[in-house]
Chains A and B, each alone.
Chain A
Amino acid sequence: MDKGSTEAADTLLIRSCLAGERIAFDRLVLRYKDRVFSLCLRLLGDYDDADDCAQETFIKVHRALPRFRFESAFSTWLYRIAVNTCMSSRSSRAFRMKKNLVSLNGMDAGARESLEISSGNPHPTPDQELERRERERLLQEAIDALPPDQRAVVVLRDVEVLSYDEITGITGLNLGTVKSKLSRARLKLRGKLEGLL
């Protein structure tokens, strides 16, 4: 489905939702839950926190939907709320305390297995799977070590593969600032990942 028809479908669902069709909101959630969850996971580096923030994002969307003015794509608006929710969550005291106690390695096995991160090989051997997970852990750790503003830009651009236009819409930053943050972030990541890649 191309971008235009996705936006048209979103608009229809939003209007149905505003007209009282509860099912329309559920459809919006189902359309975007994986993308929002993925974004939250990359921004937070923690499965439970990502689940929590992704749910919170949709609750906020539900509440604010009557005030959505269709001035941007719904997905941009949704991502913006998700990014802000994650940033608020990361700065909360509870999150920092938890981070001190539980590292990414502490992510429980069940949660990890349910991540279902795609890889080129659909049937990896145990060794390949182990290696993939290790690479993923190192990448996530490197992302986690970035300052929040750079992390958001990196995740939106390099993980979610959004356009610069979309990123400026989501972050509220201008194009030059986005590129500058991205450049600095990549430089830091290169220092951490050069041996890995």
Chain B
Amino acid sequence: MDCTNVQQLLDEYLEGALDERERKLVEEHLASCGDCTRSMAFLRAYRREMRNLRAVRAPADFLRNVHSRMRERRPFRDLLVRLFSPSGLKLPLELAGVTAVALAALVLFGVVGGGRDRGALTQSRWRTGEISRAERAAGRKEDRDLPPEVIAMDLEEESTEGSLAVEAMPGEELSGDEIPRDVVPEILGKAESPRDAPREEPRPRAPAGGRLPEAYPREPAPPAGAAAEAGEEKLPLREDTEEVPAGPGEPSPAEEGPGMELTVLMPQEEPPEGSGEQAPAGEEHVLEVVRAIEALGGKIVFKEYRGSSGGPAVINAVIPGSGYRMLIHELERLGRVVGPDGAGAAPEGEDLPGPQEELQVRIRFMSGAATGTE
């Protein structure tokens, strides 16, 4: 075995990855070759030094910064969602891009008269596909960093789907169905206040926690998750994790002190065929509200799904006063919301809790028919 061969095997020799025969050959060579012995000594020291560089920790606020950055990137998408999502209108990515550029030009340069020529030019370029290619090139910039198989899938999807509901980030194709569910609250999150939210029916239902002002104010409590059951190491779920009390047996807000009792009158659904009974309020509705409360920065104190005790679904929670209106708005998506006296639940003026105030709420989910008897 010559020096070249031995040098190539030194790494594996130090790892103990050589078989017996190769190891002996390397050792025999090392015993008689000063150059290779020095190489091995260097390699040993080098490996030790390099491995000492390993343990570097990310900044303490890393996760929070990832969340912030994800939120920062979505204002334009928010706008398009607000503009086009309610009407179900879908726009091709290129058209959305060109529209945005045209609007920006109009605003920046006050193009009115002379702008017509530019508009014609733009239209001409649009027809010839120049802009499409440029936009695509810009859009693909970030995707260069994704593994090729992912980019290839993108191209396949793009060629078959063609139109998109939402202006995607550069390098990203997203339609309403493609947006990961856990992103949607963020996409929709900062879009609407309860006052300007469109109320007309029918409208697409956002996933849980959607249409709230802060999509990531705090992370929800960990699921009693499958990952944990699989023996996964226990990790902090957030950098400043808070203990959130939960579970049956917790006192209701009404027992603890003053709070707000709200009843959601759910639209009566078609009963299961042949049952003759009224369809119960779905667990998904309760979960939606739970997630919305968590997204608002509230804490779930207690929740019960309809059927577990025969009564209506109930959520007891503590929310920041600033989130009250949002909560009402979220509940109104499910049905009519009434206060304890049967009146509307949205307080005005002095009745509004202060933004810093913690408000205890008890939410009951009733079917329209059931509440009629109460």
Contact = CB atoms under 8 A, between A and B. Distances in A.
A189 B42 CA distance: 10
A159 B142 CA distance: 27
A62 B180 contact: yes
A36 interface: yes
A36 B51 CA distance: 15
Contact of A161 (B54, B169, B220): B54
Contacts of A64: 146, 150
A116 B55 contact: yes
A60 B58 contact: no
Interface residues of B, number: 62
Given A1-B233, A17-B180, A27-B235, A117 B53 contact: yes
Interface string B42-86: 110111011111111111101101100110010000000000000
Interface in B131-177: 142, 144-150, 153-154, 169, 172
A179 to B, nearest CB: 7
A16 B225 contact: yes
Give the residue among B63, B147, B208 with the most A Cβ atoms within 10 A. B147
Nearest to A12: B227
Nearest to B47: A158
Contacts of A129: none
A191 B222 CA distance: 51
Contacts of A55: 62, 65-66, 69
A114 B219 contact: no
Nearest to A82: B145
B46 A9 contact: no
A181 interface: no
A77 B147 contact: yes
Contacts of A172: 148
Nearest to B222: A23
Contact of B180 (A9, A23, A66): A66
A84 B144 contact: yes
B58 A36 contact: yes
Interface of B is mostly: loop
A34 B57 contact: yes
Interface in B1-39: 7-8, 11
A103 interface: no
Q: By CB atoms of chain B within 10 A, which of A33, A85, A189, A197 has the most?
A: A197
A33 B60 CA distance: 10
Main SS class of interface, A: helix
Contact of A114 (B53, B59, B142): B59
Contacts of B144: 84, 88
A23 B223 contact: yes
B232 interface: yes
Contact of B182 (A17, A87, A186): A17
A159 B47 CA distance: 8
A84 B146 contact: yes
B129 to A, nearest CB: 26
Contacts of B208: 20
A190 B66 CA distance: 38
A62 B57 CA distance: 21
A59 B43 CA distance: 37
A31 B63 CA distance: 11
Interface in B219-237: 219-220, 222-223, 225-227, 230-233, 235-237
Among A37, A71, A182, find the residue whose CB has the most chain B CB atoms closer than 10 A.
A37
A79 B169 CA distance: 22
A197 B49 contact: yes
Contacts of B55: 34, 38, 116-118
Contact of A66 (B8, B50, B178, B237): B178
A63 interface: yes
A30 B235 CA distance: 8
A172 B56 CA distance: 26
B53 A42 contact: yes
B183 interface: yes
Nearest to B216: A22
Contacts of B237: 23, 26-27, 30
17 contacts: A5-B230, A12-B225, A16-B225, A20-B181, A23-B219, A23-B222, A25-B182, A26-B63, A33-B58, A71-B149, A88-B145, A117-B53, A117-B55, A135-B49, A190-B42, A196-B49, A197-B46
Question: Nearest 10 CB-CB pairs, A to B?
Answer: A20-B181, A37-B58, A118-B55, A22-B182, A84-B145, A38-B56, A197-B45, A9-B232, A158-B50, A33-B58
